[in-house]
């Protein structure tokens, strides 16, 4: 079938899927079936090729930083913002951006991909650049899983044509750098020695016999090193020179990943001035409401904090519910606010095609709210720890998203820390 027919049909399916209120991957699946070459052919046109960002934690915010930095250098960037980070999700996103002749108006594609999906993706589309962030354990997984995840990142690196950017401080990721052919460039980002204890890697967190740290001197040289940071900004050593910038990003891992983004973009645009990159980095904001994305059973679980009607509305608008199991947990403790009226100032009709698991002390108030928006519910269980376990069991093989009030988030984090890695926030 001629490519242009595929595209027009795909766009029609995409439009139809939008009309029925969901299905960000459905049109991608359609195109994938009738024209398997659509994704590679479309991406092959890009003058600067394809960048893959992978790893357990921080993909979304890092991708956001990379896109902003590249745009600051005058490049037009295609990225998979819909959160459908697998091949047909990329196909669906491409369908929205190509013209009917299959031309993509972009210089470069930056794609955030789960490890497992990235492996399949690079078989079809070898990336010109890849960024490997970290490998973290999900304690629900069987022992040894983490090494399998590391091997996935290795496959991504092996498929990469030009440059692989690697986290020097994660031994499993760092080792990948020693296994690549001479033709592949390797660049590292890392931490100043003084900061190492603040960013424990997976071994540090799980070793029972005391961590076997790589001697500091044996680590490879890094192009970008995070030297120090505080509430307001960060200090880097970039190519041996010190530089300081204010940051809007919060969270220590986001700040460390900004070093990753800088190292990657410096590999792609070697002529970019450090000042212009830091200027662009300083204004990047965290992806909205992105409290954190955890990994449970190898699938992402997003916690979205909701405190007021405006925030809840924005959250519901920002995140496509398609492909995600959704839970809403509403507490009314003092810190949450005792008045439930605010739920009635939020429209939940975006969730109409996705049955919602409802929990929290005021779970029945939330259920009542959804009833009047005619949103179907999977279950209502006011006991939050019980509800969380049940929700995870019901959706073991799906990405999950939980909208929660403040004290509900505290309970969820506590429960989740028993089964996966949860970042400590001060």
Partner 1 sequence: MSTPAQNPITILQLYPRDMNIYGDQGNLQVIERRLEWYGYTPVVISYNPGDKLPTNVDIIIGGGGQDSGQEKIHADLLKIGPQLKKWADEGIPMLMVCGLYQLFGRFFKTLNGTHLEGIGILDVETYGTNERLIGNIVTVSDSFGEIIGYENHSGQTYLGETCHPFAQVIRGAGNNSKDGHEGAVYKNVIGTYLHGSLLPKNPAIADFLIKTAVKRKYKTFSPDLIDDMFSDLAREIARDRPR
Interface positions with partner 1 (CB under 8 A): 332, 334, 338-345, 361-362, 364-365, 367-369, 371-372, 374, 380, 382
Give the nearest distance from C-beta 302 to partner 1 in angstroms.
Answer: 26
Q: Which two tokens stand for residue 358?
A: 């409802």
Give the nearest distance from C-beta 358 to partner 1 in angstroms.
Answer: 9
Residue number, 147 or 373, with CB nearest to partner 1 = 373
Residue number, 228 or 365, with CB nearest to partner 1 = 365
Give the nearest distance from C-beta 325 to partner 1 in angstroms.
Answer: 21
| Residue 55 backbone zone (phi > 0: left; psi -120 to 50: alpha; other: beta) | left
Residue number, 38 or 348, with CB nearest to partner 1 = 348
Helices 3-19 and 87-97: angle between axes, nearest 10 degrees? 100
Pairing of strands 325-329, 356-359: parallel
Helices 87-97 and 115-124: angle between axes, nearest 10 degrees? 60
Contact 69, 131 (CB under 8 A): no
Give the nearest distance from C-beta 367 to partner 1 in angstroms.
Answer: 4
Residue number, 234 or 375, with CB nearest to partner 1 = 375
Q: Which two tokens stand for residue 81?
A: 């913002």
**C-alpha span between 99 and 95 (Å, rounded):** 8
Residue number, 143 or 372, with CB nearest to partner 1 = 372
Residue number, 141 or 365, with CB nearest to partner 1 = 365
Give the nearest distance from C-beta 364 to partner 1 in angstroms.
Answer: 4
In Å, how far are 27, 130, 150, 157, 222 from 46, measured between CA atoms?
A: 22, 16, 29, 20, 28
Q: Report the alpha-carbon angle 181-183-187, nearest 5.
A: 85
Give the nearest distance from C-beta 73 to partner 1 in angstroms.
Answer: 45
- Determine which helix (DSSP H) or strand (DSSP E) holds 16, and give its type and residue range: helix 3-19
**C-alpha span between 93 and 90 (Å, rounded):** 5
**C-alpha span between 260 and 30 (Å, rounded):** 35
Q: Which two tokens stand for residue 163?
A: 């440059």
Contact 109, 53 (CB under 8 A): no
Residue number, 126 or 360, with CB nearest to partner 1 = 360
Residue number, 286 or 355, with CB nearest to partner 1 = 355
CA atoms in the 13 A half-sphere facing the CB of 263: 33
Give the nearest distance from C-beta 162 to partner 1 in angstroms.
Answer: 54
What are φ and ψ of residue 37, in 5° steps?
-90, 0
Contact 261, 297 (CB under 8 A): no
Burial 211-222 (b: 16+ CB within 10 A, else e): eeeeeeeebeeb
Residue number, 13 or 330, with CB nearest to partner 1 = 330
Give the nearest distance from C-beta 339 to partner 1 in angstroms.
Answer: 5
Contact 351, 376 (CB under 8 A): no
Residue number, 287 or 340, with CB nearest to partner 1 = 340
- Determine which helix (DSSP H) or strand (DSSP E) holds 188, and give its type and residue range: strand 185-191
Give the nearest distance from C-beta 20 to partner 1 in angstroms.
Answer: 21
Dihedral angle sign, alpha carbons of residues 396, 422, 138, 84: positive
Give the nearest distance from C-beta 368 to partner 1 in angstroms.
Answer: 4
Give the nearest distance from C-beta 349 to partner 1 in angstroms.
Answer: 11
Residue number, 256 or 342, with CB nearest to partner 1 = 342
């Amino acid at each position: 079938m001629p490519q242009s027919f595929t595209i027009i049909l795909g766009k029609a399916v995409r439009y139809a899927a939008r009309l029925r209120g969901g299905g960000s991957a459905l049109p991608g699946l359609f195109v994938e079936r009738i024209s398997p070459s659509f994704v590679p052919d479309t991406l092959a046109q890009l003058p600067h090729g394809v960048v893959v960002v992978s790893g357990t934690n921080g993909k979304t915010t890092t991708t956001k930083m990379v896109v902003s930095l590249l745009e600051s250098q005058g490049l037009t960037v295609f990225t998979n913002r819909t959160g459908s980070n697998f091949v047909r999700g990329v196909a669906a996103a491409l369908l929205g951006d190509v013209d009917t002749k299959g031309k993509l108006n972009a210089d470069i594609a930056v794609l955030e991909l789960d490890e497992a999906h990235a492996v399949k993706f690079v078989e079809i589309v070898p990336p010109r650049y890849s960024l490997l962030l970290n490998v973290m354990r999900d304690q629900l997984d069987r022992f040894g899983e983490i090494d399998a995840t590391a091997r996935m990142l290795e496959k991504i690196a092996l498929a990469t044509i030009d440059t692989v950017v690697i986290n020097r401080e994660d031994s499993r990721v760092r080792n990948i750098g020693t296994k690549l052919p001479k033709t592949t460039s390797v660049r590292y980002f890392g931490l100043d020695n003084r900061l190492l204890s603040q960013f424990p890697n997976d071994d540090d967190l799980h070793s029972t016999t005391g961590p076997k740290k790589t001697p500091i001197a044996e680590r490879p040289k890094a192009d970008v090193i995070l030297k120090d940071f505080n509430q307001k900004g960060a200090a880097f050593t970039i190519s041996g020179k010190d530089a300081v910038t204010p940051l809007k990003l919060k969270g220590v891992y986001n700040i460390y990943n900004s070093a990753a983004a800088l190292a990657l973009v410096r590999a792609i645009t070697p002529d970019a001035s450090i000042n212009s990159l830091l200027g662009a980095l300083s204004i990047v904001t965290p992806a909205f409401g992105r409290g954190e994305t955890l990994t449970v059973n190898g699938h992402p679980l997003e916690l979205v904090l909701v405190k007021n009607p405006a925030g809840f509305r924005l959250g519901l608008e920002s995140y496509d519910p398609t492909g995600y199991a959704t839970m809403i947990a509403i507490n009314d403790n003092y810190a949450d606010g005792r008045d439930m009226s605010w739920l009635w100032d939020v429209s939940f009709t975006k969730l109409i095609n996705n049955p919602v698991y409802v929990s929290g002390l005021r779970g029945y108030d939330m259920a009542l709210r959804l009833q009047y928006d005619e949103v179907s519910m999977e279950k209502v269980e006011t006991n939050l720890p019980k509800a969380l376990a049940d929700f995870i069991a019901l959706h073991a093989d799906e990405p999950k998203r939980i909208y929660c009030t403040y004290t509900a988030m505290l309970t969820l984090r506590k429960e989740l820390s028993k089964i996966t890695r949860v970042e400590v926030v001060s």
